[in-house]
Amino acid sequence: MKFYVLLVLLLISCVSYWIFQKFHDQQTIAQHKIDEQNQYKLIPKTCWFSVDWKKTTKCFYLKTPLSTGEYFLPVVIFKDESIDHREDPVVYLQGGPGAGAGLSQEGIDRWQSWLTVAQLHRDLILIDPRGTGLSLPKLNCSDQGQQINIWKNDVSLSDELKTNYQSLLNCFRALEKENSSLSYLHLSTKQSATDVINLMARLPYQAWNILGVSYGTRQALEIEKQLISNPDSGLKALVLDSLYPAGLGGVQTWPEVLDSAMRGFFNECVKTIDCKRDVDNSIQLQADFLSALEKLKSRPVRLIIKRWDGEAPVDFVVNDHRFVSAVFAAIYNPHDWQNIANAINAINYSNAYESELKLKILFEPYLNRNLNSQFNSLAFTAVDCADNQMGSESDYLQSLNQYPLMADYTKDQWRYQLCHELPGNQYLNLTSPQHPILILSGKNDPVTPSAWADAMHRQWKGSQLIFRKNLAHSILSTDICLLENLHYFFDEPTREFSYCGQNK
């Protein structure tokens, strides 16, 4: 009997141990899965586009940790196989926030042409940030139809801002309910910078460079900031084209930005042949512009605008505030200034047919860029709210008093800013970079004013500034000579970069 009791006890002990061990193993496996989910992972992928057979490309997905929103970010590497190949690649950070890297077939074709001109002699690395381009999960709602319906009617700016505000808010809430990874809290410049750093840590490069354009310069500076304490990061140098530093931008600066952009356009456009044909000076051009706004306010113009994606044409009502938006968008590129001047002149002095024709030339690119799937307004809004503090309404009203020219079109922007509902918690602070930096700036830049670049250049010891008097936003998209010679800066970033007659 005693032996039987001991045997039973032994069996119970063995079973208990087996159950405990099995439970422990399951816990270990579960913990391993959790740990794996909360790590970055670089996943090789067959490229989804075709390229010139003589060019080698590599494609990946960068999986981000579940704890920060599990995204799969497309990565494309154009391999440089030139005889002058250098081992330190260039990571290209595009504008936005909210813009993809252009990794569709059409975008890849443009990148191949760009590389033919650029001759970087280095691999080029592209990545779609969270919520943009081909990144997964998709950060979008079916609100494009609603926007098109709004455009069909003559709606006041206040009502249009209010409608868009509610639409975006509803979309954010619905997406987060559907998938926690799509929470706006997972979208910020700090987070995107961390994504890029982790990408480079998983690629076989010992040194690397950054080329940032517009918003990409802000992301580049945040990457540099996060890596300052890591001397083994491999970061070598930065090129910042159309500088957009932390602390500048956001809704608080909108009255200043729009005011200075319009005044800059009036002053510079009259120096060109196209403007001189219709007006004698900037004062007259400004007066004509304001007169055109008054005419459109009382007599909006209905247009049928062709879509570039093959969808049905859009019924679009041009009123005063939509005209302001289209003009501001066209100011980015001085080559489009003729279209602005022609539209202003046609509204004031031409017949209805001529006005419609000139307005179509201005509005067709504006509308199609707004409908472009490569730009994500949700990602833009979430990142903008994360980066920039809202400030107070009284400070905003004071800014309106300081910049009154376009106050009628900026006065409601603070009230209908979605950041009131999406409070940021990762506000950016600007620090002095420690790596070699080349700043590129255009005098006629409406959205990242040259004054920003000049101020940062004076603060950042050792930085270099190339100032183009006759160019606007995104210098490298218009200054071919500079793009062709940019590799010299990456070769020796601490030496003076003196190519193509800078500051002209």
pLDDT at 242 over 70: yes
pLDDT at 122: 97
State the Cα–Cα distance between residues 420 and 390, nearest whole angstrom.
Answer: 8
* 289 & 217 share domain: no
* 441 & 464 share domain: yes
* 239 & 261 share domain: no
Both tokens assigned to 288? 């004509």
The string of DSSP codes covering 60-102 is EEEEPPGGG---EEEEEEEE---TT--SS-EEEE-STTTB---
CA distances from 448 to 33, 88, 322 (A): 45, 29, 21
pLDDT at 497 over 80: yes
- Where is the domain boundary, 402, 427, 452? 427
Q: What is the pTM of this model?
A: 0.88
State the Cα–Cα distance between residues 248 and 307, nearest whole angstrom.
Answer: 34
State the Cα–Cα distance between residues 17 and 306, nearest whole angstrom.
Answer: 73
pLDDT at 210 over 90: yes
The torsion angles phi and psi of 92, rounded to 5 degrees, stand at -95, 125
Residue 97 lies in a domain: yes
Range(s) of the domain holding residue 464: 44-137+182-247+429-491
Both tokens assigned to 34? 């959790």
pLDDT at 461 over 50: yes
Residue 21 lies in a domain: no
Q: What is the pLDDT of residues 100-142, one digit of tens each?
A: 999 999 999 999 999 999 989 999 999 999 999 999 999 888 6
pLDDT averaged over every residue in the chain: 89
Residue with tokens 């500034």: 465
State the Cα–Cα distance between residues 114 and 244, nearest whole angstrom.
Answer: 23
Rounded to the nearest 5 percent, the helix, strand and coil shares of the chain are 50, 15, 35
* 366 & 397 share domain: yes
pLDDT at 389: 83
The string of DSSP codes covering 347-386 is HHHS-HHHHHHHHHHHHHHHHHHHT-TTB-HHHHHHHHHH
What percentage of the chain exceeds 70 in pLDDT? Answer: 91
Q: Which residue has the higher pLDDT, 20 or 207?
A: 207
Helices (H) and strands (E) in the chain, counts: 18, 11
Residue with tokens 């990409």: 216
Residue 98 lies in a domain: yes
* 242 & 271 share domain: no
Residue type (1 letter), 281: N
* 297 & 226 share domain: no
* Close Cβ partners of 374 (under 8 Å, ≥ 6 residues apart): 99, 100, 102, 104, 107, 132, 133
State how many domains the chain has: 2
CB 238 within 8 A of CB 436: yes
CB 42 within 8 A of CB 62: yes
Q: Which residues, in sequence order, are bridge partners of residue 67?
A: none
* Close Cβ partners of 444 (under 8 Å, ≥ 6 residues apart): 264, 265, 268, 331, 334, 470, 471, 472
Both tokens assigned to 305? 């605008």
* 433 & 421 share domain: no
CA distances from 385 to 61, 141, 161, 216, 267 (A): 27, 19, 17, 16, 33
pLDDT at 467 over 80: yes
pLDDT at 503 over 70: no
State the Cα–Cα distance between residues 35 and 44, nearest whole angstrom.
Answer: 21
Q: What is the pLDDT of residues 369-393, one digit of tens each?
A: 888 777 888 999 999 999 988 888 9
Residue 440 lies in a domain: yes
* 234 & 257 share domain: no
CA distances from 197 to 40, 62, 171, 231, 504 (A): 11, 11, 30, 13, 35
User: Any idea what the CATH number is for the domain that residue 88 is in?
Assistant: 3.40.50.1820
The torsion angles phi and psi of 209, rounded to 5 degrees, stand at -125, 165
State whether residue 135 is helix, strand or coil: coil
Half-sphere exposure of 53 (CA within 13 A, CB side): 0
Helix axes 320-331, 254-269, angle to 10 degrees: 70
* 117 & 243 share domain: yes
For β-strands 464-468 and 437-442, DSSP reports them as: parallel
Q: What is the pLDDT of residues 6-43, one digit of tens each?
A: 554 555 555 555 455 555 444 544 444 455 778 999 99
Residue 354 lies in a domain: yes
pLDDT at 31: 46
Half-sphere exposure of 212 (CA within 13 A, CB side): 27
Residue 144 lies in a domain: no
Both tokens assigned to 8? 């039973």
CA distances from 250 to 184, 265, 331, 383, 417 (A): 17, 21, 19, 10, 10
* 439 & 477 share domain: yes
Residue 496 lies in a domain: no
* 321 & 414 share domain: yes
Residue 416 lies in a domain: yes
Q: What is the pLDDT of residues 39-80, one digit of tens each?
A: 999 999 999 999 887 789 999 999 999 999 999 999 999 999
CB 200 within 8 A of CB 229: no
**Banded model confidence at residue 82, pLDDT cuts 50, 70, 90:** very high
pLDDT at 279: 83
* 344 & 451 share domain: no
pLDDT at 252: 84
Burial (CB count within 10 angstroms: exposed 0-12, middle 13-18, buried 19+), residue 161: middle
Q: Give the chain's end-to-end CA distance (angstroms, integer).
A: 105
The torsion angles phi and psi of 44, rounded to 5 degrees, stand at -60, 145
Other Cβ atoms less than 10 A from the Cβ of 335: the count is 10
Residue with tokens 């010299």: 488
pLDDT at 445: 85
